[in-house]
Amino acid sequence: MGGARSQVNKAHKTRFASKASRHSHKIDKVRSGKPAGSHRAALKGARAARLQHSKAIRDQKRAALLKEKRSSNGSSSAPRVIVLCGLSSSANIGPLAEDLLTFAAGGDEKLTSNTVASPAYKVRTTVLQAPYGDLTSCMELAKVADLLAFVVSANSLYNSNSGNPIDEFGSQCLSVLRAVGLPSTAVFIRDLPSDTKSKQELKKAAVSFLSPELPEDCRFYAAETKDDLHMFMRLFKEQHLSSPHWRNQRPYVMSEEACIKPGDSMGLCTLLVSGYLRAHNLSVNQLVGDLCFNLYW
């Protein structure tokens, strides 16, 4: 094939010519205004501006995360609040709260507060217990929680008739908390057997039951031994905690102590609140409802 008989396209035929070559013989009109290369330069400039804007946003987010990490790990920083919430009557959260505080404190001394400063993990932690059966208290504690930790018992997976670690109150509590808005969540699994194989099987069963009810980024932890608590504290220290959007709209105080001081005038008193200011700065001249601040530091 080919050779002398192969077809040769004739150059003067417009059928085989490009549009640019067909109009090359015409005289260009006189152009005024911007030079010919200005459009291409504008496109390159716009692309560079977009890249620079994206880089600035990434740098701002990185700086904000670094600032948050530094502020949360300082000795004078506000403690990270963990709220333990039992999803069934068999989930005893009292011993778990004591174990967490004792382990975070790094010693066996008697605990005098629900806030401890961990010298090993360099983080301050507050552990609060949501009372089982009191839906209002659970909701109020969840509003200030940095980490909402649900507690389930592995015994409920094989002792209960339904095999579900969530009872009626636990289901109601989850429904209300999802409607209000969940912060960062975790699940502690208690009463696991010492056998490694049985422990993993029960943990997988608990994960399969609870995963559809909780956010996708929820973490599951065994909470039986010191190694389990060490793993949790190590990950909790580095975890970026999220919160509902409505919590960051205005400042609030996570109170450590509150008392009432009688005033000089009849019927008047002063509410003394000490604690940590969260979310935003609070001005001394700002009103809270129809009340004003007398002293602030």
pLDDT of residue 72: 63
Secondary structure letter of residue 111 according to DSSP: P
User: Do both 264 and 227 map to the same domain?
Assistant: no
Q: What is the CATH number of the domain that holds 230?
A: 3.40.50.300
Give 139's contacts (C-beta < 8 A, 6+ positions apart).
Answer: 176, 177, 180
User: Do both 106 and 223 map to the same domain?
Assistant: yes
**Angle at which helices 226-238 and 93-105 cross, to 10°:** 70
User: Do both 157 and 272 map to the same domain?
Assistant: no
pTM: 0.69
pLDDT of residue 239: 84
Q: What range does the domain containing 161 cover?
A: 80-248
Q: What are phi and psi of 255, to 5 degrees?
A: -75, 140
Burial 251-288 (b: 16+ CB within 10 A, else e): ebbeeeeeeeeeeeeeeeeeeeeeebebeeeeeeeeee
Residues across the chain: 297
pLDDT of residue 85: 92
Mean pLDDT by 10 residues, the chain (297 residues): 66 66 62 58 78 92 80 70 88 87 76 80 86 89 90 76 74 90 90 83 84 87 86 86 83 82 78 80 65 58
CB 186 within 8 A of CB 147: yes
Would 57 be classed as within a structural domain? no
**SS3 call for 190:** strand
